Homo-oligomer: A and B are copies of this chain.
Amino acid sequence: MEKFFALPQIKQDTIINAALSSFGTNGYKKTSVSDIAAAAGISKAMVFHYFGTKKALYFYLVNLCGSIIMNEVNEKFDSTVTDFFDRIKQSSEIEISAMKKYPSISLFLKSIYFEKDEEVKDDLRALFEKGEDFRNKIAFQGMDYSKFKEDIDLKLFVKMLLWLTDGYMNQLSDKAEIDYEIMFKEFDKCLNMLKNNFYKEEYVNPSYKSRS
């Protein structure tokens, strides 16, 4: 794989994006090396020249995405933030900045989570276990729920936010060309709207009440 790393970064990224998107949409088995080569604008032979086998490419991507997310979390995640919505914003920011580099990273990560092909399933499971407690760090624990209005069903609210973020991230994945800043601002406004209507009045941003 030294051959691949010797490429200029921009070409590496082109190939990585092509592969992430192909594997992400069609899974391991149904993605052919020709698909990836075509999407990257190179010949199939080059893919083998760079990565040796389809499987090697696949797991290179898996590990790459793993470390990208890990770095992003280490850099942006702040466990001292206990506000529910701020924590969600953090997670969203983490995902957005990962997608700025590799737009299909979410699609790909979701796909490996559901991957069922025998040739890669077991190795994937092994990697998942390794990252399990890592994920728990950014989950909804140690969080301050006391700011919510008394009558809110918190379990239901969390479930709703899971649906919401999933739908939001889905829309990010679908679009070919996205202005991430605009999308993120919209999501941010959405979280603020929820906060302003589900938090006790003493916790909502005072400037909100005088909004248009």
Chain A residues within CB distance 8 Å of chain B: 26-27, 30, 114, 149, 151-153, 156-157, 159-160, 162-168, 170-171, 174, 186, 189-190, 193-194, 197-198, 208-209, 211-212
Contacts and interface: CB of A to CB of B under 8 A. Distances in A.
14 contacts: A26-B26, A151-B208, A151-B209, A151-B211, A156-B190, A157-B193, A159-B190, A163-B164, A163-B165, A163-B166, A163-B167, A166-B170, A167-B170, A197-B198
A17 B22 CA distance: 25
A152 B209 CA distance: 10
Contact of A189 (B151, B153, B165, B189): B153
Contacts of A30: 26, 30
Given A30-B26, A197-B198, A211-B151, A168 B157 contact: no
Contacts of A165: 163, 167
A167 B26 CA distance: 20
Contacts of A156: 186, 189-190, 193
Contacts of A160: 164, 190, 193-194
Number of copies of chain A assembled together: 2
A164 B161 CA distance: 8
A184 to B, nearest CB: 13
Contacts of A166: 163, 166-167, 170-171
A164 B209 CA distance: 25
A48 B197 CA distance: 57
A22 to B, nearest CB: 11
Given A160-B193, A166-B167, A167-B168, 7 more contacts: A26-B27, A26-B30, A156-B193, A160-B194, A163-B163, A167-B167, A197-B197
B162 A167 contact: yes
A211 B193 CA distance: 23
Minimum-distance CB pairs A-B, first 8? A163-B167, A166-B167, A167-B167, A197-B197, A163-B168, A30-B30, A160-B190, A164-B164
A106 to B, nearest CB: 13
